[in-house]
């Protein structure tokens, strides 16, 4: 079995006895994209059909946004693209993107997974969240700390949804963020990383 075999939140909840809730837990930090990024991003939107395929959405929208946010946290974390993770024979597979703590052994070694990002294939957020929650459970178990939040993002490039797993409770953020509000999106993703850093220090 693999992450992609999970087709809904309910399926993962029943398999791992996870409670579900919805609330507003994001506090947006002041993190804005650079002018260079905005100009390049706008160029892509105007001149390239960036939503024509899954590969195009990943290359031209999702990864560039994650990379730009990551630049502000490069000293603490590592950004991974299609990095396989395995906890056991059920919780195994390859998240589209993953942000982890930095390993003392260097950038080739996965640290503690913090944020997993799943592209909603064919705009299917139901399956996307099933896969994402399975990946969050794997991350939680790999970290060996159920009290430490791990965060998930599911997106089709245009709409971004966020969630959090702590112990046996998965919380989906009520606010959905559109790609047209880059400042808000950057502030939300940045909050996930800043929040982990605050918890780590405390």
Tokens 């075999």 locate to 5
Q: What's the rounded mean pLDDT across residues 177-199?
A: 87
Chain centroid, CA 135 distance in Å: 10
Q: How far apart are CA 67 and CA 111, in angstroms?
A: 18
Does 125 score more than 50 pLDDT? yes
Domains and CATH numbers, the chain: 3-201 (3.90.1570)
C-alpha pair distances (Å), 127 with each of 9, 27, 67, 109, 133: 8, 27, 25, 29, 10
Task: Show the CA angle centred on residue 139, arms to residues 62 and 72, nearest 5°.
Answer: 45
Question: 123 pLDDT band (50/70/90 cuts)?
Answer: confident
- Segment (H or E) for 155: strand 150-155
Q: What is the pLDDT of residue 197?
A: 57
Question: 150 pLDDT band (50/70/90 cuts)?
Answer: very high
Which pLDDT tens digit goes with each residue over 77-90? 999 999 999 999 99
Q: What's the rounded mean pLDDT across residues 18-23?
A: 97
Burial class from Cβ neighbours inside 10 Å (0-12, 13-18, 19+) for residue 91 reads buried
Q: How far apart are CA 145 and CA 64, in angstroms?
A: 30
Which pLDDT tens digit goes with each residue over 39-59? 999 999 999 999 888 899 999
């Amino acid at each position: 079995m693999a992450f992609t075999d999970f087709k809904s939140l309910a399926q993962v909840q029943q398999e791992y006895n996870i409670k579900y809730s919805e609330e507003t837990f994001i506090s947006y930090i002041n993190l804005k994209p650079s002018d260079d990024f905005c100009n390049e991003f706008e160029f892509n939107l105007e001149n390239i059909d960036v939503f024509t395929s899954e590969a195009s959405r990943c290359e031209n929208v999702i990864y560039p946004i994650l990379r730009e946010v990551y630049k502000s946290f490069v000293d603490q974390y590592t950004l991974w693209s299609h990095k396989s993770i395995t906890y056991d024979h059920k919780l195994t597979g390859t998240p589209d993107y993953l942000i982890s703590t930095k390993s003392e052994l260097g950038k080739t070694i996965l640290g503690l997974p913090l944020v997993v990002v799943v592209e909603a294939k064919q705009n299917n957020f139901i399956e996307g969240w099933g896969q994402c929650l399975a990946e969050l459970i794997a991350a939680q178990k790999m970290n060996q700390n159920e009290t430490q939040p791990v965060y998930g993002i599911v997106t089709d490039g245009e709409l971004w949804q966020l969630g959090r797993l702590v112990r046996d409770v998965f919380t989906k953020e009520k606010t959905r963020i559109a790609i047209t509000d880059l400042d808000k999106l950057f502030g939300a993703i940045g909050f996930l990383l800043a929040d982990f850093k605050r918890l780590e220090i405390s």
